[in-house]
A and B are shown apart, each in its own frame.
Chain A
Amino acid sequence: MEQDIKFIDDDGKRLDGRKYDELREIKIEAGVLHRAEGSCYLEWGSNKVVAAVYGPREAIPRHSQNPLKAIVRARYNMAAFSVDDRKRPGPDRRSREISKVISEALEKVILTEKFPRAAIEVNIEVLEAEAGTRCAGLTAAGVALADAGIPMKDIPVACAAGKIGSKDDYGKKIGGNIVLDLGKQEDNFGDADLPIAISPRNGEILLLQMDGHLTLDEFDNALNLAIKGCNIISKIQKEALLQKYQVDMEVD
């Protein structure tokens, strides 16, 4: 582990020049694929993600059906060329876990009881990965679900906050800083990462994971910061949807 990284310079700027509460640049486009019911292309820093929604359609195999509601199946997949060292194609333990927590988060906002025995499939393809792909994937999935016209209580959105720089140049422990949306090095060599997903209308937490080390106060701080980030991204999601459907209406 490299301990000589100075995460925050004397002007309070981070490694990539961001302030502590500043997001990387985010671009969202809705409805980019023609076969899918709904789709979304999202760039978040150098993360590049495509999400596509299929369904509701009959859940196969039949024993996976729920007679009372639809099942939500998210599939997070990383392209072999999305990371520095080629990733072997196919699901590994990490992507299976991410698929599971994203499925559960989406299930909370989708009105699944409207579609008994059906499956709603959300495919998330990571074309380029650089810290925070699960948040990028879930955020893209939210837009794709809305684009597909799946009835939802809200458009889910995700963002992470974390803690960096709790060791000084000599490896001694110092306070550390809570910052929004960890970048690559901050994620690899930082002290804690807290990705969350929320339902922005009522603030419900849909996904929460943490690794690292946070005090109670630091957690409060990080959570508030991440929620703040989610709310900013939520606006970008809605603008992307508005852009697609406003244009459509003018053409007609």
Chain B
Amino acid sequence: MTLTSSIKRDYFYNLVKNGKRADGRKFDEFRNIEIETGFISKAEGSARVKIGKTQVVAGIKMDIGEPYPDSPEKGVMMTAAELIPLASPDFEAGPPREDAIELARVVDRGIRESEVIGLDKLCIVPGEIIWLVFIDIHIIDFDGNLFDAASLAALAALFNTIVPIERMRPNLEKLQEKNPSIKIYLEEHQKDYQLPMNEPPISCTSVKFNDVVVLDPSLDEEEIAEVRLTVATDKNGDIRAMQKGLNGSFTIEEIKKVIKASIDNGKEIRSKLEKSTGN
């Protein structure tokens, strides 16, 4: 937790009272978003997302493993986020703290609950062998709104992901002796193929301070925020996930406004995502 001087806080309070933001944006306007995919060749999929000065790298690794007993025919996904000390003077080395865990869980939930990854198509032998999908998110430069940057980076990396049949073939062939049905899978899947994906929800975060709600908060705005709301919307403009944070409160009107801004901006971000991943 960083302390914010009252001078700085008053400055931001005055700005929004006059309808302005420090970087000249409108209240419901995102910063510039850049998405670059596939720049890490060692990873099955990768993406670098910049929202303003916030910079996040996500990488996807895949491996084979055993399914959970309650979903014997489904692949398994895991999400981890690291707030590495590279990104901010306030991030420390060591095992993930609660904010890194919350971030990873919110991103994980958004992808898992909306069934963005076709996990049902990642089964090799039912009840025996399935694909594991690891989503690793690294915060490289921190200027606020990690929820949206991390979700977008994870999605862009997933759309860029190739299932590494070629790389895993020796391992799979070794297992074939014990488990002959692997052969059927290998015959059906001769080559690497695109990770099966469904329509993703896009998340947009707003914060409120001094009775004003602003979208895509910068770090300065996040530090004085009283309450935060993340809304993920799908292609039809329906709501797919929400998360309120911090100890402040919204009125119902404000929440409706936040949802509308999330739908409108979600559309634009979705088309950027589609463009960058060629979908």
Residues of chain A whose beta carbon lies under 8 Å from any beta carbon of chain B: 32-36, 39, 46, 48, 50-52, 54, 57, 75, 77, 79-86, 89-91, 121, 123, 125, 127-130
Tell yes or no: B80 within 8 A of A by CB: yes
Q: Inside 8 A of A82's CB, which chain B residues have their CB?
A: 40, 42-43, 59
Closest 9 CB pairs of A and B: A81-B59, A86-B61, A81-B43, A80-B136, A123-B86, A52-B86, A33-B141, A34-B53, A128-B40
User: Besides A46-B41, A80-B136, 4 other CB < 8 A contacts?
Assistant: A52-B87, A54-B89, A81-B136, A128-B41
Q: Inside 8 A of A54's CB, which chain B residues have their CB?
A: 85, 89
- Work out how many contacts link A and B, with CB atoms closer than 8 A: 91
How distant is B99 from chain A, measured CB to nearest CB, in Å?
A: 16
Taken together as a complex, chains A and B put the C-alpha atoms of A51 and B87 apart, in Å, by 10
B42 near A128 with CB under 8 A, answer yes
Tell yes or no: B55 within 8 A of A by CB: yes
B42 near A83 with CB under 8 A, answer yes
Taken together as a complex, chains A and B put the C-alpha atoms of A91 and B93 apart, in Å, by 9
Given contacts A33-B86, A84-B167, A89-B136, whether A75 and B93 have CB atoms under 8 Å apart is yes
Given contacts A75-B85, A81-B60, whether A50 and B140 have CB atoms under 8 Å apart is yes
Q: List 26 A-B contacts (CB under 8 A).
A: A33-B55, A34-B143, A35-B143, A36-B141, A46-B41, A46-B42, A48-B39, A50-B86, A51-B86, A75-B93, A77-B93, A81-B42, A81-B46, A82-B59, A84-B42, A85-B61, A85-B63, A86-B136, A121-B85, A123-B84, A123-B85, A125-B84, A127-B40, A128-B42, A128-B43, A130-B42
Q: Give the interface SS of chain B, mostly helix, strand, loop or mixed.
A: loop
Taken together as a complex, chains A and B put the C-alpha atoms of A84 and B40 apart, in Å, by 11
Tell yes or no: B82 within 8 A of A by CB: yes
How distant is A219 from chain B, measured CB to nearest CB, in Å?
A: 32
B80 near A80 with CB under 8 A, answer yes
Q: Inside 8 A of A80's CB, which chain B residues have their CB?
A: 59, 61, 80, 134, 136
B85 near A127 with CB under 8 A, answer no
Taken together as a complex, chains A and B put the C-alpha atoms of A79 and B141 apart, in Å, by 15
Given contacts A48-B40, A79-B57, whether A125 and B86 have CB atoms under 8 Å apart is yes
How distant is B193 from chain A, measured CB to nearest CB, in Å?
A: 19
B138 near A125 with CB under 8 A, answer yes
Tell yes or no: B12 within 8 A of A by CB: no
Taken together as a complex, chains A and B put the C-alpha atoms of A121 and B88 apart, in Å, by 12
B40 near A86 with CB under 8 A, answer no
Q: Inside 8 A of A130's CB, which chain B residues have their CB?
A: 42
Q: Inside 8 A of B136's CB, which chain A residues have their CB?
A: 79-81, 86, 89
How distant is B89 from chain A, measured CB to nearest CB, in Å?
A: 5
Q: Inside 8 A of A33's CB, which chain B residues have their CB?
A: 55, 86-87, 140-141
